[in-house]
Structure 1
């Protein structure tokens, strides 16, 4: 077991939502904690802290990743994108967020940030995916409220709106 004392913090440099950050972190500190508690990006929800629920999904160099399973030190030199990055320059909603609203693809909202980030990564190929393929691609994002059909419909709509 590695013992880490307060003096063993490491410096990481990462880009989050296009902004550069240099932070001192504990070697075992999850990226989800850095995003939420250090950077104030509370849109990254933490549900299970074991990578099972997908609520904390972010984009790590453009690919979906569970922020609770990524150590902050692993993000050194990488680009992170959180749900907050979807806000448009005029303050409006991203087309994906609008589609989620139109299709009632969010209910309690707890899984929504992770769902949106996973869906964002799917958008470039979603129009050519079958419904079964889309369901498979989002199957790791747990949602107890929607039954997933509205989420698939929203992703398909957003993919069409963005082409």
Structure 2
């Protein structure tokens, strides 16, 4: 979704586009970590169910959900408090305006980390159980919802003018 966010804000200027791209480069690293845990959950659930150990599959799913949700909340809190230092580290020589826009975008996107963790772990557990249709429908629906919400937050709706970029 980072490419879509960058495309949507591209109409608002190069600083907004650079800010989103900068923050999304950090977000992609976090999502890759979440995806790795998701993959591990998929493997453990599939292995457990293959051995007909439903209890182990449930325990693994529950542990992954709890640990990743708590980790995502902790990570979001840390990023909220240390976001400026993170952006300074990642941004390098970027302008002050780009860094400020990147920080705003990063602080807003970290709010989605817990939901992303829950969605990824849940989808991984379902895929491990052999159900690929429900994760496909959930992820497709969430991507469409993300496009709609992003468009509204950036450009507004009806008489509300939007935030200008998110």
State the TM-score, normalized to the length of structure 2: 0.28
In terms of fraction of residues, the more strand-rich structure is: 1
> Rg larger in 1 or in 2?
2
Point out the structure with the larger helix share.
2
Q: Give me the TM-score of the superposition, normalised by structure 1.
A: 0.29
Higher relative contact order (CA 8 A, sep 6+): 2
